[in-house]
Amino acid sequence: MPAPIVTTTLQRIQTDPQGDAPVATAYFEQKTTIDDQVFVAPWTSVSWPLLSDDKVTVGGDTLTYAQVSAFVTAIAYQEKAKSA
């Protein structure tokens, strides 16, 4: 019997920017494949504060979560303006 293949995929990110403690929530789906049969587990989620000072490094640049959130917000408004 071959070993199971387990994959985890980011399905959605949702933000709640309202209030004093805005948060983001990411939803992940896990699939396990055994003998060509795919079993899908219920989504799991993880949340974090949008204004966090925690850091992430992407492409050699280190930013706080708050800085990343500001960039994503700016991109969203820019794309909205382009589609208007």
Specify the amino acid at residue 68.
Answer: V
Q: Specify whether the CB–CB gap between 31 and 1 falls below 8 A.
A: no
Each residue of 10-39: pLDDT tens digit? Answer: 999 998 878 888 999 999 999 999 999 999
From CA 57, how far away is CA 39, in angstroms rounded?
33
From CA 42, how far away is CA 21, in angstroms rounded?
27
Whether the predicted model's global pTM rises above the 0.95 cut: no
Residue 1 has pLDDT above 80, yes or no: no
